[in-house]
Structure 1
Amino acid sequence: MTLRQTRYGSNASKKENDIFWNRAFEFFKSSEINGLSIGYGKENASGGGIGKIKKLEILRNLKQILDAGTNDPTIFELIGGFQEGVGPDLISDLISNILIEDFISYTQRICAELNIPLSKKSFSKNYEPNELPQNKLTGKPIILVPKEFLRDLPIADSLMDLDWICKKNEQLRLYLNSVIEGSFKKISIKEQKGHIRKAIIDDPIFLREVLEAYKQISPQYYDFVDDPTGETVWYEASKKSSQRISLRFKVISHTNFR
């Protein structure tokens, strides 16, 4: 799937279930991908994916927004801001499906440089198995992601709404408050998303300003130097400990056991 394919399919569609609509639905993949180890899952390394009903709901909302006057694929990055039930985990699944071929090529290149063996592994029901390294503990595939792509997980779904608009653009904040005739911050996240969706559909100028405000925000990558959530500090600490503490092992022949 590519954003361009989904966007053009939705734009060309005149009604649901025509050839362009069905093509966009086909390209709109959010399947679980084993081996990335990102997201909120505690018991597995997969994402959650979304079902057919939620996918149709998202596609309908995107179609409305595209019809409102934008061809900017950046709108796909803001799905969590106007779509109920879509948070960072599902957005991560969507992006992973878009970039999966690049992630696999990256993984294979790094493994070739480090002489790490590869084997044919299945990582998703929607893709053919590919040559990937294997997790020795689970037997499952490992797919590497450049650390520049990663950020810390938001502590709540509210951080995936468009609250940054109010902080970065006073005029947009006042506009949102006028739309709901009250304080945007005092209503629920679900209500916020509904108002934002209606505003960007009803007002093309507002939609353009939202996209411009979003593009001006610098990405917040995870700080692997300070490592605030302890993602890698344990590894560096264990290497230093093994260097400081010298362990001596005595080889004993099996004939000495009684």
Structure 2
Amino acid sequence: MGDLLLVGCGKMGGAMLEGWLARGLSAADVVVAEPVDALRPRTSGVRAVASTSDVAKTPEIVVLAVKPQSMDGVLPDLKRFADEGAVFLSIAAGKTLKYFASHLGTTAKVVRSMPNTPAAVRQGISVATAAGGVSEAEKNRCHQLLEAVGQVVWVDDEALMDPVTALSGSGPAYVFLLVEAMAAAGAKLGLTPDMAMQLARATVAGSGELLKQSSEPASQLRVNVTSPGGTTAEALKVLMAADGIQPVFDKALAAASRRSKELAG
């Protein structure tokens, strides 16, 4: 694949690095720039430096895995790589192609992506969009890097990255909140808090795995577990009512998408 520079090795950057190495990327082809000593990888063969200024050779791909608020500080030194034709793959929320063009130059080859936290267990999903100057071959290399931690979807319209952020980028938090709410409701019915949480966690995790392995749509899986006149049907009357769960999610995702636009400036 060629030389790769990973800028930032926190939770997401570290998960991606592990995924790349597990899929056969040579450690000798990776340089990690991470200012925090405790976060630098100790993997044999991977060169780790404190700053991108310590990297002289232009990499084929630069993966930007720093927090969005830190991006302004790292891009000035990286412009030299953009000028030499390196491809930039960003996983920073809210940082647009226009933003990178203003810092790296209008001809910079940039792919903007939005992964989510299940990437930590290689079960994530990333959505990506590319600047005009990125070739199909370069997009494919970025696809392979993102695919190391889960599924990858591409969009041509960058404006879709805001609803993507609202749905899949922020989505794991909604699922975790669902677990909390189910456990709390179970405890109110008399279960111990520990048992209620154990049941809720296992139910959501198991249902997710069933959803992953099944070829049936989510709507059919719901029907499969719903006996007419039974307990599930009674609960779904509440959850699927006009004032049930759907309007709440409509409002929640709209708020998240709106905030994503605001953060992008």
TM-score, normalised on structure 2? 0.28
Structure with greater contact order relative to length (CA < 8 Å, sep ≥ 6): 1
Q: Which has the higher strand share?
A: 2
TM-score, normalised on structure 1? 0.28
